[in-house]
């Protein structure tokens, strides 16, 4: 697992209070991990903070799964 993937999963586990084994790459924040719309906003903020990047709102709306987050961050990391 890449460094980014590991950090993303750690953030998701912490913020959503879910078991580590549920946080698979295909897991959807809302459908599989019990997040609501506010949780997803906060998750994106946590990714921005951790990786020192800015995720525009129109992109953030499309980050629905763990994999979406990892892919975007890996492609845009400074």
Query: Among 24, 49, 53, 61, which residue sits at the site for other proteins (rule: CB under 8 A)?
Result: 49
Query: How far apart are alpha carbons 76 and 15 in whole angstroms?
Result: 22
Asked if residue 45 binds other proteins (CB under 8 A), the reply is yes
- Whether residue 3 lies in the annotated active site: no
Query: Could you tell me the smallest distance in angstroms from the CB atom of residue 2 to other proteins?
Result: 25
Minimum distance from CB of 26 to other proteins (Å)? 22
Tell how far CA 17 is from the center of its chain. 13
Cα(8)–Cα(53) distance, integer angstroms:
13
CB-based burial label for 70 (10 Å; 0-12, 13-18, 19+): buried
Q: Which residues participate in catalysis according to the annotation?
A: 36
Interface with other proteins (CB under 8 A) = 15-17, 38, 41-42, 45, 48-49, 54
């Amino acid at each position: 697992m890449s460094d980014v993937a590991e950090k993303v999963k750690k953030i998701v586990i912490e913020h959503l209070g879910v078991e580590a084994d549920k946080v698979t790459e295909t897991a959807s924040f809302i459908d599989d991990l019990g997040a609501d719309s506010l949780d997803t906003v906060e998750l994106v903020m946590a990714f921005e903070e951790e990786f020192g990047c800015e995720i525009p709102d129109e992109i953030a709306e499309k980050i629905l799964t763990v994999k979406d987050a990892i892919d975007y961050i890996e492609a845009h990391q400074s």
